[in-house]
Amino acid sequence: MFQPTGPHLSLPTASSVIDAVRDPTSVVFNLDGYQVLAACDLPLGGRRVSAVANSVEAACPDCGVVSTRVHQRTRQKVKDLGVGGKDIELVIIKPRFLCAEAACARRTFTQVTDQLPFRARCTARLKAAAVEAVLDEGMPIWRTCARYQLGWATINTAVTADALTIPAPDMVPVRALGIDEHRFARAKWFKHPETAQWCRVEPWMSTFVDADTGHILGVVDGRSSANITRWLKQRSQAWLEQLQVVAIDPSSAFRNAVRQVLPAVEISVDHWHVVRLGNQMLTEVRQRVTREVLGRRGRKEDSVWAHRMLLLRAGDRLTDAGLHRLEQVLDDEDYEQVAAAWAVKERLRAMLAARDIPAAQNARIDFEMAVAAADMAETDKLAATVAKWWTEIKVFVRTQVTNARTESANTGIKQIKRTGRGFRNQRNYQSRILGTSVRQTRRRRRIPHQQGLHAQR
């Protein structure tokens, strides 16, 4: 006899068959807690579906006594997802119950269900689909409105409400915290109302991310030390105490803020940002030397300009052909300063790639020797920055805690900004960022919605 195998093919047990008996229309329509009474085509297209809740009793919202006595039934039109590629006009036959408790002041009450809460004009599954489109698929709200036939405010309220169910940061155990900044809108000019002077406003936001998982814990306005400090001070003592490392960009404002609130925590500076400083130094040297040698900016016929990207690539990961080309570029006597700057950049990378402190300290000696040999203002400046951040670089070497996940969170944030075509309301922007991030984390860890979560505000 044929025996189905595997989880998808196993036959249902007798009890589950009894529980799951629904008429075919209700199965197809699949609105939780409802069964379909009738369905018909409308003369001008579309279809009308009438449904009634499975539950034949309800508890009074005032006294809590369960009643089965129906006072009257009303027909209510609600919005719902389309089925089978067509819009649906859903009509719910809704009972109004008589309260069974004689002492209760309330006489009647209407039925509420998970899909149709009190005063709902659309099903919960329709709202959930709209929120999913905005937060998971990154669809702008105006387009979601058209797809689901809902108003902008309805969807925006649902999205904001979803963001409010995110876990409070204090409930997320964090060992390594990443702090990063990003500009969320173009710089704007405002005329000061009193002094009548024009001031430039850069709308910055700072994000706090679990450096291990990439989960966004919070977003604050600005990137000043005061804003960072304020967010950190709002956390519970227990949360702050479990922090071991904070990863930041080489920004003195961030370092001061973290030092102020968390004097005992270790600060790690992101290696990627330090390498970027090395690359900037190399580019500055190349541009200056080109101007000195040729008296103009680099062009594509200049070997050093044509290979400017090759100069910035990781020297130890170049192919033989790449190395050969690089040698030809750097062999030119006129460009020996560029060769010296390249050597400094490579020593810097080797230092950051060290696996332990002694190796990093040895690599730093090589780096300092290359800086001394180069003897240029640009390389001296880089060495000064490394000296200023040496403690934090050593923490990075030891812990390997980086802002890489913060950076990827920022990429996601920029995507949200593009989708929104710029946000004027910062609160809407923040709710999208936090909502998207928490849903990603839930999907990664397969945490069902609402489980173990509570409102942040």
Binding site residues, Zn ion, CB under 5 A: 60, 62-63, 99, 101, 104, 106
**Closer of 99 and 245 to Zn ion (Cβ):** 99
Going by C-alpha positions, the residue among 199, 188, 162, 228 that lies closest to residue 433 is 162
By DSSP bridging, strand 216-221 and strand 204-210 are antiparallel
Tokens 């189905």 belong to: 4
For the bound state, the minimum distance from the C-beta of residue 49 to Zn ion, rounded and expressed in Å, comes to 32
For the bound state, the minimum distance from the C-beta of residue 59 to Zn ion, rounded and expressed in Å, comes to 8
**Closer of 101 and 368 to Zn ion (Cβ):** 101
For the bound state, the minimum distance from the C-beta of residue 95 to Zn ion, rounded and expressed in Å, comes to 15
For the bound state, the minimum distance from the C-beta of residue 113 to Zn ion, rounded and expressed in Å, comes to 18
**Closer of 101 and 221 to Zn ion (Cβ):** 101
**Closer of 44 and 102 to Zn ion (Cβ):** 102
**Rounded to whole angstroms, how far apart are CA atoms 292 and 305?**
14
Cα–chain-centroid distance for residue 117?
A: 30
**Closer of 101 and 132 to Zn ion (Cβ):** 101
Secondary structure E strands in 334-414: none
**Rounded to whole angstroms, how far apart are CA atoms 433 and 18?**
44
For the bound state, the minimum distance from the C-beta of residue 108 to Zn ion, rounded and expressed in Å, comes to 9
**Closer of 106 and 175 to Zn ion (Cβ):** 106
**Closer of 109 and 342 to Zn ion (Cβ):** 109
Tokens 């719902």 belong to: 80
**Rounded to whole angstroms, how far apart are CA atoms 259 and 278?**
26
Tokens 């195998």 belong to: 5
For the bound state, the minimum distance from the C-beta of residue 105 to Zn ion, rounded and expressed in Å, comes to 8
Going by C-alpha positions, the residue among 48, 52, 96, 88 that lies closest to residue 70 is 96
**Closer of 10 and 68 to Zn ion (Cβ):** 68
82 burial type by CB count under 10 A (0-12 exposed, 13-18 middle, 19+ buried): middle
The H or E element spanning position 218 is strand 216-221
Tokens of 316: 């130890």
- Indicate the length of the chain as a whole number: 457
Beta bridge partners of 405: none
For the bound state, the minimum distance from the C-beta of residue 58 to Zn ion, rounded and expressed in Å, comes to 11
For the bound state, the minimum distance from the C-beta of residue 98 to Zn ion, rounded and expressed in Å, comes to 9
For the bound state, the minimum distance from the C-beta of residue 230 to Zn ion, rounded and expressed in Å, comes to 47
**Rounded to whole angstroms, how far apart are CA atoms 290 and 285?**
8
**Closer of 64 and 358 to Zn ion (Cβ):** 64
Tokens of 246: 């904070």
Q: Is 402 helix (H, G, I), strand (E, B) or coil?
A: coil
The answer to whether the CB of 169 falls within 8 A of the CB of 208 is: yes
